[in-house]
Amino acid sequence: MIEATTEGGMGDGQISILEINSYLEMGILLGTALFSVISGFLLARRNENKKKRASEKEKTRKDKEQELRIFDDKNEDFQIYDRLMYLRIKSSADRVRLCQFHNGGKFLSGNPMKKFTCTHETTSKGVSNESDRIQNCLTTVFLDKILAVKENDPRVRRVSDLLMESKSKNLYKSNEVDRYALLPIYKSDLIIGFVEVEWNEGSINEYESDFNSLFTLVRSQVEFEMMKGG
């Protein structure tokens, strides 16, 4: 006689239909969960790779922009040096430099420190470069130089005509400078720096007659190059 089977069990240790259905449902749930986990992992990985590629692309773009800026800066510096060198050669000068004004902190009184620094200098053969000595110079120490800059007069001046034994005069004498000339660099109406020309003792200015117009022209060219940089 055939034994009847029920949903509750099949007898003889066999698995019932309900248990099979439970296992199937559990398998489906586990498979769905595993699929969700794997899908989430792959999606997160894909998004991470996408962000990484975007970040690398942005970094490449910024690097290229930086390279272009560096190139522009180098090109600007080259043009400034070219103009200063032209002025030095045409005027038979020993040194020509560009100095720029900048802030330098504050005194305990609260008053700002006003300074200037040599950013560009060209010298004739055998003449020392003094740009390292002209860094973060207090304007109050070089008052006679600053006053001469404010005059906006391209004339050639003699060191011996300086009345007081100032820092400027001592520096000129230590470098055996006999004559010099100064012109301010403007940005709109603001003086942001100056160009200085120096002739050492024994040097001959072969272009004395037209030096003023030459100096004024080169000053304008330097201003133009500086304004291109912002």
Task: Clarify whether residues 32 and 110 are in a common domain.
Answer: no
Under 8 Å between Cβ of 122 and 81:
yes
In a domain, residue 188? The reply is yes
Using one digit for the tens of pLDDT, what is the confidence trace for 141-171?
999 999 999 999 999 999 999 877 888 999 9
Task: Clarify whether residues 221 and 110 are in a common domain.
Answer: yes
In a domain, residue 183? The reply is yes
- CA distance between the termini of the chain: 105
* Alpha helices, H only, the chain: 17-90, 143-151, 167-174, 211-228
Say whether pLDDT at 20 is over 90.
no
Task: Clarify whether residues 79 and 189 are in a common domain.
Answer: yes
Using one digit for the tens of pLDDT, what is the confidence trace for 23-43?
777 777 777 877 777 877 888
Task: Clarify whether residues 97 and 163 are in a common domain.
Answer: yes
Task: Clarify whether residues 96 and 139 are in a common domain.
Answer: yes
Task: Clarify whether residues 39 and 91 are in a common domain.
Answer: no
pTM to 2 decimal places: 0.66
Task: Clarify whether residues 102 and 207 are in a common domain.
Answer: yes
Say whether pLDDT at 3 is over 70.
no
Q: What is the mean pLDDT of the chain?
A: 84
Query: Which residues span the domain enclosing 38?
Result: 15-51
